[in-house]
Amino acid sequence: MASCLEKFGKKRLLLLVGFLVVVAAIIGLIVGVTTNQAASTSPGDSDESAGDEATTAAVPTTTTQTMWPPDSPWLTLRLPDYIVPVHYNLTLQPDLVADTFTGKVAMDLKISQPTKYILLHINELELQTPTVEQKLTGATYNVLRTFEYLPNQFYIIEMSGEIPANNANDAGDMYVVTVDFSGSLVGHIVGFYKSTYTNSQGETRSLATSKFQPTDARRAFPHFDEPALKAEFSTILIHEPEYIAISNMPIEVSHTSGTSGKETHFQRSVPMSSYLSCFIVCDFKYTESVTHGGTPIRVYATPDQVNNTMYALDIMRNITDYFEEVFQIPYPLPKLDQIAIPDFVSGAMEHWGIITYRETNLLYEEGVSSAGNKQRVASVVSHELAHMWFGNIVTMEWWDDLWLNEGFASFVEYLGVNEAEPDWQMLDQFIVQDLQPVYGLDALTTSHPIILPVNRPEEITEIFDSISYSKGASVIRMLRSFLGDTVFQTGITQYLTDYSYSTARTDDLWSALATASGEPVKQIMDTWTKQMGFPVVHFRNTSSGLLVTQERCLVDRTADTSNSQYDSPYKYG
């Protein structure tokens, strides 16, 4: 019997065979280890109240495995919700000769209930003993010890006693946690890392760059690495004088600093998720222009490649203007840069204000590069620009709603390129590039829903797949067709306005579109986002009228699909 995909006229289907890798269970819970230090007082003597002035004694260490009490806050994947970062004052100094970096971060925190523990994220960083103080009064608090809980990549600061909650009605009442740290620039191409390239003179040149999504900002500095915990950044990069420094915001001041080299200070950022922060030290050149709305834009590349940035600059300007008009929300930062990185693990990454790209996805040489390369550059640039609204201005609250970022950007990229290059017929290409391929994947019993719970750190990376991207884009395209362009756009603008500089869940999107349309959007779309697969809908004329039936489309027609039902609006005439 022919499968539903064959009935759709699909000529061939690539069957994906999954291999289940069973990992041996790790017995016991892992406790982290802090740097060995000599304490001035014995651990058993640390019973003074948290409000007392802190001593200068180094904190003791924990080096043995521990069976933690079941209510220990570090045993859950998510950070406690009663500690919220407000601002990071961050300094980073890469050493491109020693392949290391050092840094210091002062975190302004609002704490809404008394606590003995402050949890941060780190991964492969070495930390010095942190300090904790009350920002308004300068009162310091004793740190009893620090340790890591490796399964969740937590760094735990245990206080000698509970520190009291901040006054919720006083915006200035905060705690400041300050810590010095260091890490390696090599061994990986995520986090804060070293990249190299060879110039036309045969010289090997180095740069420090970053790639943080989804959970690699914790490789660069200690902080609260969850998308909902947006905070402002004040960043300083210390580097060799012959290099330039780039970050999310424009440069505020740059000056020579003793024997350290050059200090580049950046303007304070808007509130943003930490995975959107970006830090680059390089010797690149740039081309520049300005959008219709007055935003300065630049495209950076190695000196030998900078002449191949002109198409990306042009398409960037045109699509940014279009998105500002369509979404009715101006691009919010005072500058927008793009940069081609020689070693980049992803196709591109939407760091706010400084989008990073693999070179092949940003550089185009007229008369040499292929037409396919030109379209790839336009598509990737459009996708990343879409994220400035879908992902950066409004961010998913947690990774199970990743599709709100990636599904939207994957659909909107076609609108942007279609506006800039109308002869390419991009809206028709969507069917071939995204819709049909994801049919094949979603017709397998091994597919998964668009909204997928995340229970372990490694599962976050796993959901960056075709279901989140292409199926997410496809259901957005379907909903836009059902509601109509004008109503759909009204709802999207309201969604972006209501949740600007904040986070949202899928239901928040449905609510905005339901308000704009008067349609039961959540009822319809839950069946498409909370269960895997898609239906085949059959229409048959009978003596009593039109009979409409549906079944889940599956490659394996013998699989049980009795529980699969999809709310499928349709029109006929």
Residues 6+ apart with CB under 8 A from 396: 227, 402, 403, 404, 405, 503, 504, 505
Residues 6+ apart with CB under 8 A from 337: 246, 286, 297, 298, 299, 300, 353, 354, 355
Q: Is 292 annotated as a binding residue?
A: no
Q: Is 48 annotated as a binding residue?
A: no
Is 384 assigned a catalytic role?
Answer: yes
Q: Is 351 annotated as a binding residue?
A: no
Bridge partners (DSSP) of residue 348 are 357
| Catalytic member of 226, 263, 384, 519 | 384
The DSSP line for 128-149 is PPPEEEETTT--EE-EEEEEEE
Tokens of residue 310, six digits? 């002109």
Is the distance from CB of 292 to CB of 269 less than 8 angstroms?
no
d(CA 61, CA 64) in angstroms, rounded, equals: 9
For helices 485-498 and 506-517, give the axis angle rounded to 10 degrees. Answer: 130
Amino acid at 39: A
Tokens of residue 567, six digits? 């709310």
Whether the ω angle into residue 214 lies within 30 degrees of 0, i.e. cis, is: yes
Q: Assign residue 128 a region: left if phi > 0, alpha if psi is -120 to 50, beta otherwise?
A: beta
> What number of H helices and E strands is found in the chain?
12, 25
Helix runs in 201-356, H state only: 310-327
Is the distance from CB of 322 to CB of 337 less than 8 angstroms?
no
Residues annotated within the binding site are: 383, 387, 406
Residues annotated within the binding site for Zn(2+) are: 383, 387, 406
- Which residues form the catalytic set? 384
